[in-house]
Amino acid sequence: MCFIWTKIIRGTTFNEFSVLGILSNLGAAKMPQVMVVARNFMDMVAALPAAKLDMLYDSAFICEAVLRSFPPLAKKYALQMLYVSAPMPAAAMEEWVLDEYASKHKVAIDRLLQLRVFVEVRDRRKEVSYKMNDKFQGNMQKYLVDGGSLPREPISSSVTGRLPTLTELENYALEQWECFLLQLINSSQVERGTSFSSSMMKTFQRGLLSSRDGDAPKLSENGFQFLLMETNAQLWYIMREYISSAEERGVDPTELISFLLELSFHTLGAAYSFNTLTDVQRIAIRDLAELGLVKVQQGRKDSWFIPTKLATNLSSSLSDSSASKEGIVVVETNFRLYAYSASRLHCEILRLFSRVEYQLPNLIVGAITKESLYGAFDNGITAEQIISFLKQNAHPRVADKIPVVPENVTDQIRLWETDRNRVDMVLSHVYEDFPSKDMFEQCCDLARDNGFLLWEDSKKMRLIVRVEFHQEMREFLRRQR
Amino acid sequence: MTSAHSKLYSDDVSLVVVIVDTNPFFWAGAALPFADFFGHLIHFVNSLLLLNHLNQVVVIAAGVSSCAYVFDSGNAAASGSPDVAATFAKASRKVEEFVKQDARDTAGNGTVAGGGAASLFSGALSLALCYIQRVFRSGTRHPQPRILCLQGSPDGPEQYVAVMNSIFSAQRSMVPIDSCIVGTQDSAFLQQASYITGGVYLKPQELSGLFQYLAAVFASDLHSRAFLRLPKTLGVDFRASCFCHKKTIDMGYVCSVCLSIFCKYHKKCSTCGSEFSRVMPDLNSMPDQK
């Protein structure tokens, strides 16, 4: 199907028209990329030089975090190889899986090799065997015997006095994190800013905001998608930015990575003394406190930090979306949307794709409309992302229902999206009034051979060619004359 | 992507209930000393907990006349005692206490005849299923459950009905029962259990490498089992026990109303009370019983 809208410009020899050829385009919608970010973090670890990676494996916690980030099959292989010291022939390993799942096997082995948990060994006959990384193996064996120990001892409550309860800690963490996010997306609206230096904030905003010259920075496509991700994925994104900007600040990224992974193995809600930290870690912990990963408290002599849920979930979220936080959103078949939340951040997020009608103390009421969705699509959010956001944040009352979001609503969101994708504009030119059939066909052939022909009508001797080819076309016609 | 309506965590998060045979009659003469076996078990439990922080392991000890929970990783984590070594020390103390208590119970009952005492697997299986049901009903998202039986002592035919009932309820709630035989004889009960519930039945050749077997076969989660070449059962012993004398039989009488099995002809079914009016001819023309 081909809709053509023409606008006439006087040409020279032939009538040339500038055409906006609108062709159907039912391309596949982009899938939501929620987990991509977290996986990228392990890719970042994998990209470290071999020597540094081996250095990281000195710490049992990193070994543990890395192991947990693997796909299930890779985890199983690692476990199976734990007490095997001799190299295992690759061919023998392939026997472990059924033939039809060889691709899964390959993915698992590749991952293990990338992170240097398995090391490739070639014998004299050039046959490939895999051997487990010695340090990794040693650390994991130790783990199996004593069940792993703690990175550092918590300090006793006689020193710290009363520590915040877990609920207080969680509220604190969420508050800090939301405050940070609000500042990230809209620095002017925050009354109580975090103490991140503006340069640091800029680093975080780099991928998320785009500013056209002079204008106030606006959320970019990535920024919108970022807001719809779950907290852990967002956290990893920020951490990745934080680590990759470490070198600019003169900090070794390896140390930060190891500290972050280690942090997630601390006990939730226990206090740890600052004295056990290195200088780099001390600076890092102040930054992490701003994000709500830890709470820093000052005693009479000592200061200490208390890891929050955000920190302890950090490494576990690498393998999977394990955030089981309670949802807030109820969507009705009449396209109305109720979100039981008092948070400004939630309101901002909902505003991305719905029309927020009113806000009660604990309830945000909105409607999903065509206009609001078009706004979202313009910002680069896909229908799938919106639907998966609604599903993941469903209120417990509706979370049990199948489907969680009414089908007519999800279908309509998808339809509105495809409405926009159905047509695709291609700038092009129309050529007509050819003097002879022969000439017309020569032109057609030339355009077709170069792959610029969009449409032809041999009866009326008309053709449409992409705008890029116009110059060549013109010269060709001039030569023919 | 985890969809919110599914109450399960993603595929590879598992709840493993391990049933451990602590029958002193068996372990007294076993090729693998109990201490070594327990070492392998702790390694295995640790490795399960290592694989995913959401994994949960429960250990149930099955003695001769009682059974009890000896370890629950959920409790260990919740109680805030992060010292894993201490938790395991506590677990092994619990096992010790349990074995002593069990010995006292057994002596009190005086039910044991000779060395061939069976462990109370029916009770342990029921405990495991109860635990799993509680997890199912807790309302929150839960891991994928499965049961692993580590049996050494021979089957107790007198537990036939109870074991079969447990197996069928496991099948109904889609809980696979894996079995690993650490003794010398195959277990007909567990062969059937694994066969019916879709679990893995394995009798390791080399018991000194028990951990390797456990890690290679029983540590894999249900999702990745679909891809793996796992040991297949060669044959399953489908023989039943009779309800009247609890003997394992090849052929017997079956009540036409409630399907109870008897080794001898009765006038009245002891289970449902139906009266059999016609006298059965001899054993030769009797229907084959599976």
Give chain A positions within 8 Å (CB) of B219.
Answer: 76, 79
In this structure, the answer to whether residues B75 and B216 fall within a common structural domain is yes
Residues 94-123 of A with CB under 8 A from B: 95-98, 101, 104-105
3-state secondary structure string across chain A: CEEEEEEECCCCCCEEEEEEEEEECCCCCCCCCCCHHHHHHHHHHHCCCHHHHHHHCCCHHHHHHHHHHCCHHHHHHHHHCCCCCCCEEHHHHHCCECHHHHHHHHHHHHHHHHCCCEEEEECCCCCEEEEECHHHHHHHHHHHHHCCCCCCCCCCHHHHCCCCCHHHHHHHHHHHHHHHHHHHHCHHHCCCCCCCCHHHHHHHHCCCEECCCCCCCEECHHHHHHHHCCHHHHHHHHHHHHHHCCHHHCCCHHHHHHHHHHHCCCCCCCCEEHHHCCHHHHHHHHHHHHHCCEEEEECCCCEEEEECHHHHCCCHHHCCCCCCCCCCEEECCCCEEEECCCCHHHHHHHHCCCEEEEEECCEEEEECCHHHHHHHHHCCCCHHHHHHHHHHCECHHHHCCCCCCCHHHHHHHHHHHHHHHCEEEEEEEEEECCCCHHHHHHHHHHHHHHCCEEEEECCCCEEEEEHHHHHHHHHHHHHHC
pLDDT at site B290 = 45
Enumerate residue ranges in chain A where pLDDT < 50. Answer: 1-36, 38, 319-323
Give how far B190 is from chain A: nearest CA, Å: 25
* Residue where a domain terminates, one of B192, B225, B258: B225
* Residue where a domain terminates, one of B194, B225, B256: B225
pLDDT at site B139 = 64
- Cβ neighbors of B134 (< 8 A, separation 6 or more) are none
Give how far A157 is from chain B: nearest CA, Å: 14
Asked if B216 is an interface residue toward chain A (Cβ–Cβ < 8 A), one would say yes
Q: Is the pLDDT of residue B57 over 60?
A: yes
In this structure, the answer to whether residues B278 and B211 fall within a common structural domain is no
Give chain A positions within 8 Å (CB) of B220.
Answer: 72, 76
Size of interface A-B (CB pairs under 8 A): 117
CATH code of B52's domain = 3.40.50.410
Give chain A positions within 8 Å (CB) of B144.
Answer: none
Give chain B positions within 8 Å (CB) of A267.
Answer: 80, 82
d(C-alpha B246, C-alpha B159), whole Å:
8
Residue B7 domain-assigned (yes or no): no
Asked if A402 is an interface residue toward chain B (Cβ–Cβ < 8 A), one would say yes
pLDDT tens string A356-368: 998 898 899 999 9
pLDDT at site B177 = 93
In this structure, the answer to whether residues B144 and B285 fall within a common structural domain is no
- Closest by Cβ to B219, choosing from A79, A391, A402: A79
Give chain B positions within 8 Å (CB) of A76.
Answer: 51, 219-220, 224, 228
In this structure, the answer to whether residues B173 and B273 fall within a common structural domain is no
Residue B231 domain-assigned (yes or no): no
Give me the number of domains chain B comprises: 2
With a pLDDT cut of 70, the percent of chain B lying above it is: 83
pLDDT at site A433 = 86
Q: Is the pLDDT of residue B55 over 50?
A: yes
CATH number for the domain running over A57-146 = 1.10.10.10
Asked if B53 is an interface residue toward chain A (Cβ–Cβ < 8 A), one would say yes
What residue in B sits closest to A104 (Cα-Cα)? B227
Residue B151 domain-assigned (yes or no): yes
Q: Which of B7, B13, B51 to mutate to test the interface with A (most CBs of A within 10 A)?
A: B51
Give chain A positions within 8 Å (CB) of B84.
Answer: 146-149
Give chain B positions within 8 Å (CB) of A393.
Answer: 4
Q: Higher-confidence residue: B12 or B60?
A: B60
Asked if A443 is an interface residue toward chain B (Cβ–Cβ < 8 A), one would say no
State the average pLDDT for chain B. Answer: 81
Give chain B positions within 8 Å (CB) of A391.
Answer: 3-5
Of A376-385, B3-12, B135-144, the range with the lowest mean pLDDT is B3-12
DSSP one-letter code for B284 = G
In this structure, the answer to whether residues B244 and B220 fall within a common structural domain is no
What residue in B sits closest to A141 (Cα-Cα)? B43
Residue B187 domain-assigned (yes or no): yes
| Domain boundary assignment for chain A | 2-25+432-480, 57-146, 157-318, 329-421
pLDDT at site A7 = 34
pLDDT at site A126 = 79
In this structure, the answer to whether residues B258 and B179 fall within a common structural domain is no
Asked if B190 is an interface residue toward chain A (Cβ–Cβ < 8 A), one would say no
pLDDT at site B131 = 93
At residue B67's C-alpha, the angle toward residues B66 and B69, to 5°, is: 150
pLDDT tens string B210-222: 888 898 889 888 8
* Residue where a domain terminates, one of B225, B253, B274: B225
Q: What is the dihedral of CA B274, B277, B281, B284, to 10 degrees?
A: -20
Residue B270 domain-assigned (yes or no): yes
Quote the ipTM score.
Answer: 0.79
- The fold for domain A2-25+432-480 equals Alpha-Beta Plaits (3.30.70)
Residue B163 domain-assigned (yes or no): yes
**Domain enclosing residue B244, as ranges:** 239-290
Give how far A320 is from chain B: nearest CA, Å: 8
